[in-house]
Structure 1
């Protein structure tokens, strides 16, 4: 498999100085957050994010001659201002890029890495896992950030504009402030107890000691300065004062004097920051109903698990299935793919990942023979026998799913030249570790809690144990689909382990069930991850689907919300249909360069 690495600072010479501009004071008093439009149709390019300010930042690049990569990084930087509990400079992510000039799909693995001092027992005390909540809110959970290297490389390799230009909308947004909406306020309120224990976090996100009110303006001038430094120095900025501040914060978390929370120190050093390597990997690829589906390979499990499930589904003819049967076999395929994912997927630079076998049609046929359209497989199911030539052989005990945060954010962009980006970025939990780097304006991630803390009693879980320099397994699944060699769909979602099932459901609804892309995005979601019960959104209950699937034997548990998709589709006449969530997370925002509904 192709693997290219890039050391921090290697590309910094391309980053020119940014000119500081004075911020415009925001109007006092309650304001209305920007309008959101979940669907836009037109030509010339598109940007879709969960936030109108971020979408507008990306569109500013397209209007001024930038390409999809410029737009993606501009939007991502703006999300670091307006969605700081989901993604930001202190996190990482996965970047999938279709390059129109070559017809190639590229992927960047910007996943955070464990410090060199982290061993397999890092999250154990007296031989037992430390409480998960205590692991999250700690320096121990903080991985070496990969976002700066991702932005640097993407802009240097494929962008058209200088970093200072691309970062300018986010810098202005941080300086001038953004209008707080209900989603931001509720996320702050949910984390207020954690945030209050860290003075730098409380000062920034709990003005006056409480979550900011809807309609007020929140500014982050420290983050504006951080972005200016990045625009000057590139990812090498983490080898200077900002990096030193990150390490000091991780190894000696600045806790409020009256806090009673136990906050464990982390293991990161400045050498860990300097040694970080971005990896360009070959994308996963499966042929589904004649479509080329490209996704993110390990260290993410997104591309492999979506791909395996699609391969299993390929053994069924949707024309011979009812709508309920399509949903049923999708849940069963997801169950089987997750059984394999939980055992086999880890950082390929540290463990042997049998990716070729997992994504082979032969293995899909072996797994598909377990599925009966008239009954349900009892979960959890065992992983498949990778060495079996045929039949329905299973091997070993199922591995338990680890706990991934439900936060993260996703964006898609496209430009006038036909380039497309699908980018998922994160700091893990909503609010990450809750620890803001003093004077720098960003929260640090808690990505290392994505590791399995120990091997299970059955021996499963070894592929995703902590280790020096290792990337924890992720479920992020930025996806690009080609039809006849040209871009057709791009999509992805936040949602921790539910990301995979969200992307799978939208793809199946669009390709097999005949739904339009807006219908597929808005439909009630289900998530089956090799568990006894299927997670389902409230709107699913009381529907014919629920009745039919329940009669087959599926059991359901209700969860408030699953995912928050950003997607786009190229229509037959060449126009782009850009699609965001109509309601989840308060609704997203889709814009196109030249709107045209016909």
Structure 2
């Protein structure tokens, strides 16, 4: 496909995964597993003698970028960088260079698991007063829109760190697909078009935002061509100079100029001081499987671990449906209560990890669960919390050698702050809203925290992102999802589903339930088809039931090492595709 000038364009994003074939160019669709013909040094082959890789992401063009990078000799880390930076171009409503990510990496050769923290951080001049109205109530506009809403991005530093330490290719190679997409253009997805339409009033406040998302003063159309030359230039600076290409030099100066001109507080020192951090992931055993998940500043891994520890001695398979939901919800309730109370950036606050991850602590929490009655959240010591949010993106990758990446990236709410920083083309996040900016008041996702998550210059805000691995003797899974506060319960439910034997497609498609301590109710995904008798029994136990819209956009890869088959599935809720699953032997 070409534009009028003869340059090659990219197919519409009608799916979110792709599969290469021998001697043929990439075929777009909803398939997520590919033969990797050029990756060397495979440690094992599958049952048919072919080495395979699997990628599940939210966009076909991003998945193609990952496979393209694998075909050039990259590993799962290189592919994750390619997927993530391509998503920065084609799916800016959910993630990008102006945001951050959390990632769990598994090195097949050594068996090592590690965690990369590229979460955004507060600028040094942060002040809670900037997020208050004159009457002392929260100012939702400054915490969600414009430059004051934006933390210092971590995404560019994170991908540069990953490439340098764990990738096989130079960073510039992994950035090639994203640069090409930004320069040559692509057909925007329906989700991107709708996001721009929804945020158009805020986007129009800022000249660079109007120029990027409404070129010529017009909203983009799905059958039109969307180009991003500003971001292409910034990606090229990152390719040439690594992290310094973003955090120092001309790009940094333009970022700071644009932010300060619009009322923000960033400085060159804020950018120059940012570092991606490598941390030790949380690892626990549950039902014969090893779960590897995200530590703080993610709140998700701690919460998932706490929930699994609470349920460890409970045989869920012997419970009727209502009582199974009862136990899941009560575990969620207690984990979210602790989320609100204790969790924050571990470089700034002492998080009582030994206590929260202790099976003895879980024993005590379990003893407070009544077998046939809901525990009211008001009965437990608490901070606060209110409704789930639905943005961010996730991608799951296993390469031919068995290296794995589970990576969740975000700009927070849809299109982040709606502020594009001058001629950099970079859409900034609105992650400052993830701090407890005003004690006792909810953020955009209904979550509240105490002093542990209060804003301080250089501090990283708490996140719900929960990239995870589940590793058994014969099967393993790479799991993650967007979805605000529901990320945690989605991943929790996916882990249980995988351990129950469900495949990638069944895991992504299963209907979801959620409880986050406050509001004190069970959110049940609309269309879950729970029998009326189950709903009636839950209500008789004292639960309020909320029939909620669909949420999340989960991407899962499962590897059955008995057969060598890898399956990858994208969420059928994804508006850009059908969520079809494919396998390769």
TM-score with structure 2 setting the length: 0.88
Residue 387 (structure 1) aligns with: none
Say which SS state the counterpart of residue 55 (structure 2) adopts. strand
Q: Report Cα offsets for 1:402-435 as digits up to 9, x if no partner.
A: 8885311100111111100000111111110100
Going from structure 1 to structure 2, the CA distance change for 1:175 and 1:39 (only over 3 Å counts) comes to: closer
Q: How many positions carry a matched residue from both structures?
A: 544
Give yes or no for the alignment of 1:243 onto 2:252: yes
Residue 456 (structure 2) aligns with: 467
Measure how far apart 1:281 and its partner are: 0.8
Question: Is the 1:250–1:268 Cα contact (8 Å) retained in structure 2?
Answer: yes
Rounded to whole Å, the distance in 2 between the matches of 1:511 and 1:591 is 19
Q: Report Cα offsets for 1:57-84 as digits up to 9, x if no partner.
A: 0011122221000100000010001111
Say which SS state the counterpart of residue 277 (structure 1) adopts. coil
Measure how far apart 1:380 and its partner are: 4.3
Say which SS state the counterpart of residue 148 (structure 2) adopts. coil
Residue 550 (structure 1) aligns with: 539
Going from structure 1 to structure 2, the CA distance change for 1:40 and 1:302 (only over 3 Å counts) comes to: same
Give yes or no for the alignment of 1:498 onto 2:486: yes
Rounded to whole Å, the distance in 2 between the matches of 1:54 and 1:534 is 34
Rounded to whole Å, the distance in 1 between the matches of 2:531 and 2:34 is 30
TM-score with structure 1 setting the length: 0.86
Residue 412 (structure 1) aligns with: 396
Going from structure 1 to structure 2, the CA distance change for 1:33 and 1:456 (only over 3 Å counts) comes to: closer
Q: Report Cα offsets for 1:180-201 as digits up to 9, x if no partner.
A: 2222221221111111211211
Give yes or no for the alignment of 1:173 onto 2:173: no
Question: Is the 2:78–2:168 Cα contact (8 Å) retained in structure 1?
Answer: yes
1:128-143 equivalence runs, <5 A: 128-143=136-151
Going from structure 1 to structure 2, the CA distance change for 1:59 and 1:223 (only over 3 Å counts) comes to: same
Residue 568 (structure 1) aligns with: 557
Going from structure 1 to structure 2, the CA distance change for 1:585 and 1:500 (only over 3 Å counts) comes to: farther
Q: 2:503 aligns with which of 494, 497, 516?
A: 516
Measure how far apart 1:161 and its partner are: 0.8
Rounded to whole Å, the distance in 2 between the matches of 1:81 and 1:359 is 38
Say which SS state the counterpart of residue 398 (structure 1) adopts. coil
Residue 339 (structure 2) aligns with: 341
Give yes or no for the alignment of 1:451 onto 2:449: no
Question: Is the 1:33–1:215 Cα contact (8 Å) retained in structure 2?
Answer: no
Say which SS state the counterpart of residue 493 (structure 1) adopts. coil
Q: 1:62 aligns with which of 58, 70, 91?
A: 70
Give yes or no for the alignment of 1:580 onto 2:542: no
Rounded to whole Å, the distance in 1 between the matches of 2:227 and 2:372 is 56
Going from structure 1 to structure 2, the CA distance change for 1:586 and 1:76 (only over 3 Å counts) comes to: same
Measure how far apart 1:89 and its partner are: 0.8
Measure how far apart 1:24 and its partner are: 5.6
Residue 330 (structure 2) aligns with: 332
Measure how far apart 1:125 and its partner are: 4.8
Residue 440 (structure 1) aligns with: 424
1:196-595 equivalence runs, <5 A: 196-237=204-245, 238-253=247-262, 265-382=263-380, 397-401=381-385, 406-456=390-440, 461-484=450-473, 488-512=476-500, 514-531=501-518, 532-540=520-528, 543=531, 545-571=534-560, 572-587=562-577
Measure how far apart 1:313 and its partner are: 1.2
Say which SS state the counterpart of residue 205 (structure 2) adopts. coil
Query: Quick check: 73-82 or 325-334, which moved more?
Result: 325-334
Question: Is the 1:339–1:381 Cα contact (8 Å) retained in structure 2?
Answer: no
Aligned-CA RMSD value: 2.5
Question: Is the 1:50–1:589 Cα contact (8 Å) retained in structure 2?
Answer: no
Going from structure 1 to structure 2, the CA distance change for 1:557 and 1:207 (only over 3 Å counts) comes to: farther
Rounded to whole Å, the distance in 1 between the matches of 2:6 and 2:403 is 34
Going from structure 1 to structure 2, the CA distance change for 1:460 and 1:44 (only over 3 Å counts) comes to: closer
Structure 2: runs of 5 or more not aligned: 16-27, 36-50, 442-447
Measure how far apart 1:292 and its partner are: 1.0
Residue 386 (structure 1) aligns with: none
Going from structure 1 to structure 2, the CA distance change for 1:99 and 1:208 (only over 3 Å counts) comes to: same
Going from structure 1 to structure 2, the CA distance change for 1:247 and 1:588 (only over 3 Å counts) comes to: farther
Rounded to whole Å, the distance in 2 between the matches of 1:163 and 1:228 is 10
Going from structure 1 to structure 2, the CA distance change for 1:472 and 1:169 (only over 3 Å counts) comes to: same
Question: Is the 1:107–1:280 Cα contact (8 Å) retained in structure 2?
Answer: yes
Q: Report Cα offsets for 1:19-63 as digits up to 9, x if no partner.
A: xxxx963679x9674554266587521111000000000011122
Say which SS state the counterpart of residue 337 (structure 1) adopts. helix
Rounded to whole Å, the distance in 2 between the matches of 1:233 and 1:119 is 33
Q: Report Cα offsets for 1:222-271 as digits up to 9, x if no partner.
A: 21111111000011112111111111222222xxxxxxxxxxx2221100
Measure how far apart 1:553 and its partner are: 3.0
Say which SS state the counterpart of residue 199 (structure 2) adopts. helix
Going from structure 1 to structure 2, the CA distance change for 1:439 and 1:355 (only over 3 Å counts) comes to: same
Question: Is the 1:95–1:421 Cα contact (8 Å) retained in structure 2?
Answer: yes
1:70-89 equivalence runs, <5 A: 70-89=78-97
Say which SS state the counterpart of residue 416 (structure 1) adopts. coil
Residue 37 (structure 1) aligns with: 30
